[in-house]
Structure 1
């Protein structure tokens, strides 16, 4: 694996940070990109190259891929991890924020793939690993923008899997449940800022509490980011990777429940669970 080159986006914290470490430990040469370069300083000590990377900037994305390709001639593994969760009622969240959510979670991911695919296609080899979420298969109130992006990435990844298969390129989806990162706290704060005092305030406080339950070891929905990172390594190194890797506490059971239950039954079960989490 020493000769394989991995590029990880959104690597300043959480899943991306742990994925960069785990891929390096597995023997890959790793480039880690994020806007907050200072957060990635510890990665340098592990032999990981860090770079500024903003997935809303064409110049930044093109420069990052060009840097890796200039050094190695290719990107073998792209881990599309950059993203965030924008929560709030559809009525109250400004359209500009909705556009930004899609720009980061979908369009930035798509552009990163556009940039690496030509080199992978020429090499007739490559692996694209898109970090979605069980949120790409299920839904929450006040999460229309976020879940819309994750459903989009799921569908895009499925289409690309068929599209790129003749060119020797695998497309894999990682579907984490709640992870013990800053993601849930930030998403919850944004939710309360958008809808915490208006007509949706009761729902907002319940959902914000559920999002917060992913923060801190031992919480019911909290899975360490390093667990997700291990799934990413498996996806990156398997000779024939699975198309999807649900990972984390409750991921398999929630997805199974979604497949089995009718929509309204799932709505009721899931909402009652969130209400219990909120106390």
Structure 2
């Protein structure tokens, strides 16, 4: 074969392999994009175990805006401040130009009581559509915090934190994993790492959070054969109080009779996007970091802020710790 002919043939083969490689890369990207679009277009049903907290309440409204049907767990799903906030938020959204895409269903839920959890599972089953096999995810936002030095803190407070944070995490898995197996869904926990702010008086709390981390690791191993993914949300950068604080009412004092507004923004817009990834990534990570490690990081206002017509004075004072 002449040198020139061999050179031309080599260039032709190189071009052919380049075209085949480019086509293969395109097909891989196309499949991944199509899969991601399907996951995002069908957000499904999500349980948030505690909407009594500002963080849980923010998650409920945000995910409903994304098209999810959200079961919002509450200790009192009728007369509590968070329940009234959700009802007011939904009513307000009815008159919005862009009505809420999903739905929020308040549910009585208490992670410290197995009898209430059994009633919650029955109520969730009653709300399932015909042929619906399970739900997409459970996000455990339940927890308890009492700050105080060990030498002066009451043992009752230790017991409450251990009962809610550790045993509550296990009870959530026990109660709701049956809804996740059929869908190969996700069990999502707030992981340890409340790294900002003073750590004084958080011995018992930090011990309970470390135990939750171990629970997450062991649950991941146990549930992996069933296709249930267990995910931790790294809360480094959020104060301990921010995790479980109640929504704070505030009134516009400039005009008399102005509606009372309720601030439920704990997570930044970026952090909410991280939670969306934890929910809908085709192959989720074991751990996602909510707040990026950057000195330039700051909290942005969230569109899911709650505003409603002024409640009675008694209701506006009904802030509780979960």
| Aligned mates of 1:139, 1:246 — CA distance in 2 | 20
| Aligned mates of 1:64, 1:228 — CA distance in 2 | 28
Normalising by structure 1, what TM-score?
0.68
1:62 and 2:105 matched: no
For the pair shown, the structure with the greater C-alpha radius of gyration is 2
Structure of greater relative contact order (alpha carbons < 8 Å, 6+ residues apart): 2
| Aligned mates of 2:229, 2:160 — CA distance in 1 | 28
Contact 2:194–2:238 under 8 Å retained in 1? no
| Aligned mates of 2:154, 2:269 — CA distance in 1 | 34
1:156 and 2:212 matched: no
Mark the CA change 1:38 to 1:61 in structure 2 (over 3 Å): closer, same or farther. Answer: farther
- 2:226 aligned residue: 167
Task: Flag structure 2 segments of 5+ consecutive residues without an equivalent.
Answer: 1-40, 92-99, 247-262, 297-322
Mark the CA change 1:241 to 1:12 in structure 2 (over 3 Å): closer, same or farther. Answer: same
Mark the CA change 1:229 to 1:184 in structure 2 (over 3 Å): closer, same or farther. Answer: closer
Aligned 1:32-71 pairs, distance under 5 A = 32-35=72-75, 36=80, 37-45=83-91, 46=100, 47-71=103-127
Give the alignment's Cα RMSD to 1 decimal. Answer: 3.4
1:14 and 2:70 matched: no
Aligned 1:110-121 pairs, distance under 5 A = 110-121=170-181
| CA-to-aligned-CA distance 1:75-130 (integer Å, 9 cap, x gap) | 32100001132211112112121010111112122111101113323x16110000
Mark the CA change 1:2 to 1:70 in structure 2 (over 3 Å): closer, same or farther. Answer: farther
| CA-to-aligned-CA distance 1:118-160 (integer Å, 9 cap, x gap) | 3323x16110000124139x99332111111111111110111
- 2:3 aligned residue: none
| Aligned mates of 1:115, 1:90 — CA distance in 2 | 33
1:27 and 2:83 matched: no
**Structure 1 position 69, deviation (Å):** 2.3
1:135 and 2:194 matched: yes
- 1:263 aligned residue: none
- 2:9 aligned residue: none
1:103 and 2:163 matched: yes
Normalising by structure 2, what TM-score?
0.59
| Aligned mates of 2:295, 2:118 — CA distance in 1 | 36
- 1:261 aligned residue: none
Contact 1:180–1:224 under 8 Å retained in 2? no
| Aligned mates of 1:139, 1:102 — CA distance in 2 | 21
1:248 and 2:291 matched: yes
Aligned length: 220
Compare the two structures and name the one with the higher helix fraction.
Answer: 1
**Structure 1 position 173, deviation (Å):** 0.6
